[in-house]
Amino acid sequence: MKIKLLNILKVTLAAAALSSAATLPAAAAELADIQAANTIKVGVLIDFPPYGILNENNEPDGYDATVAKTLADDLGVELNLIPVTGPNRIPFLLSGQVDILVSSLAISPARAEKVDFSNPYAAIRIGVMGQADLDITSAADLAGVSVAVARASGQDTTITEIAPETTEIRRFDDDVSAVQALLSGQVQTIGASNTVMAQIRQIAPGRFDEKFTLNQFRLAIAVSPDAPELLAYVNEFLAGVTASGALNEAHMQWLDEPLPSFNE
Amino acid sequence: MYDFNFAPVFASFDTLLVGAWLTIQMSTVAMVIGLVLSILGAVGKTSGPKPVRIAINVYIEIIRNTPFLVQLYFFFFALPALGVRLGPNQAALLALVVNFGAYGTEIVRAGVASVGRGHIEAAKTVGLNFFQTLRYVILKPAMRAVYPALTSQFIYLMLASSVVSVISATDLAAAGNDLQSQTFASFEVYIVITAMYFVMSLAFSGVFALIGKLAFSYPLNR
């Protein structure tokens, strides 16, 4: 019995080693690889309207996809949009499953240790929204209050940092589940972006109001640290579309407001 | 090539242990309650009155033909609309029990069906009442016959519990996801929690083998 178990373990470990060797990551593509492949694989969110959505043809769309399309056109290569989620987007980039992330990724020092950020291409304000009868004006008032956040999002990081010990932070896989938790009364408040808060107001007018602002996040395009030329190219591209007004136009199209200022 | 760095994972290993402990607790409680539910379901389905049999069949068909994830969402997001508000861990436990009950009922029912009619008639002849017949003549051999199938369903329950983090329950997978989102050491975190699930499965299998030996090795040691 003992020997048999040991054998099973050995086979299992060998299989695990084999499969990990097979799936483990080649380095992400550099500019020349993308041009050689004539395709750029861009990771975009599909659960973060209006930055990343699925359109009526079930294809990724939104502000990020529009920026990605402009970038692909600028490069003169085919665009391959690959849906990613908040928690898995950085692993997707580091494992080479996408070449570049245009996935509303907020610049943060911890993330900058893993990926290289371009200059910002958008900015999001995040805040805490809650049931209208709650008297909350600052993070300190969150003591004993439940807050829904999307796991690994900017609001998750910020609230985890500034909320009192007794705050019950409930982490969901995406904004949709967090909003559902708020609407169904499973949580009292939510940490969310200005766009999500606008949607909540639309769905349930008057039930919730914005309590306070947490932060403004600058969103940037992320590339693998092994791709300095790609990063330089993206920055040049962003400077171009900012100057030409194309970026502002895309922002007007999807968010109904001009591109916010990044210099704060 | 990706540089593996397990240091940040092991620095926060205690958060993973807390998550693993919740997974073990939740699975164990779900197994016990689920087993009771399965036995009741199997008895009801084989010897209950017609309305009970129909109700049990409807329950089994609904649960076995819908995804566990959807059932989980139902217990967490839809029940508050009916006035029942469960916390994420309670809702997860309830979903696990209800899900297991449907599969377990069918497994136990198969065991009950394997007991020969003659045995039951013999029990009546020697004067055993309904509950004595059920316990000694039907359930014990039935459970012995389906014990392997039941234990693999138990293990499956424990592994399936890894999706409960979608309703913000704080199990091992949730602890892993949280740690992954803080350290970005995703490969390392997933490798470690995979190993933890594997060890937990082996441990549960060991306990089940022991229970099987103690409970079902008759008549060899009697």
Q: Please state which of the ranges A27-41, B85-99, B159-173 shows the lowest mean pLDDT.
A: A27-41
Assigned architecture for domain A27-123+219-255 = 3-Layer(aba) Sandwich (3.40)
Using CB atoms, pick whichever of A12, A88, A184 lies closest to residue B77: A184
Which A residues, 45 through 84, put their C-beta within 8 Å of a C-beta on chain B?
none
| List of residues 6+ apart from B3 with CB closer than 8 A | none
**Position A1 confidence tier, pLDDT thresholds 50, 70, 90:** very low
pLDDT at residue A195, rounded to an integer? 83
pLDDT tens, position by position, A86-104: 889 999 999 999 999 999 9
pLDDT at residue B33, rounded to an integer? 97
Residue ranges per structural domain of chain A:
27-123+219-255, 125-216
Cβ of residue B78 closer than 8 Å to a chain A Cβ: yes
Cβ of residue B176 closer than 8 Å to a chain A Cβ: no
Given a cut of 70, whether residue A17 has pLDDT beyond it is: no
pLDDT at residue B111, rounded to an integer? 95
- CA distance, residue A58 to nearest chain B CA (Å): 21
The whole-model pTM stands at 0.68
Cβ of residue A1 closer than 8 Å to a chain B Cβ: no
- CA distance, residue B93 to nearest chain A CA (Å): 16
Q: How many Å apart are CA B171 and CA B192, to the nearest integer? A: 15
Assigned CATH for B9-216: 1.10.3720.10
**Position B142 confidence tier, pLDDT thresholds 50, 70, 90:** very high
Strand-pair category, A146-150 with A189-193: parallel
Domains A27-123+219-255 and A125-216 belong to one CATH topology:
yes
pLDDT at residue A9, rounded to an integer? 54
Distance set, CA B92 to CA A184, B36, B97 (Å): 16, 18, 9
pLDDT at residue B221, rounded to an integer? 46
Cβ of residue A207 closer than 8 Å to a chain B Cβ: no
| List of residues 6+ apart from B50 with CB closer than 8 A | none
**Position A154 confidence tier, pLDDT thresholds 50, 70, 90:** confident
| Cross-chain residue pair B178–A151, CB shorter than 8 Å | yes
What superfamily does domain A125-216 belong to in CATH? Periplasmic binding protein-like II (3.40.190.10)
pLDDT tens, position by position, A253-262: 888 778 887 7
Q: How many Å apart are CA A40 and CA A72, to the nearest integer? A: 7
Is the ipTM here above 0.95?
no
pLDDT at residue A174, rounded to an integer? 87
CB hemisphere CA count around B61 (13 angstroms): 7
- Region of residue A193 (phi > 0: left; psi between -120 and 50: alpha; otherwise: beta): beta
Partners of A186 on chain B (C-beta within 8 Å) are 76-77, 80, 85, 88
Partners of B206 on chain A (C-beta within 8 Å) are none
Q: Do A187 and A181 meet the contact criterion of CB atoms below 8 Å apart? A: yes
**Position B54 confidence tier, pLDDT thresholds 50, 70, 90:** very high
pLDDT at residue B212, rounded to an integer? 92
Residue ranges per structural domain of chain B:
9-216
Q: What rounded mean pLDDT belongs to chain A?
A: 87
What is the phi/psi pair of residue B86, to 5°?
-110, 145
pLDDT at residue A6, rounded to an integer? 54
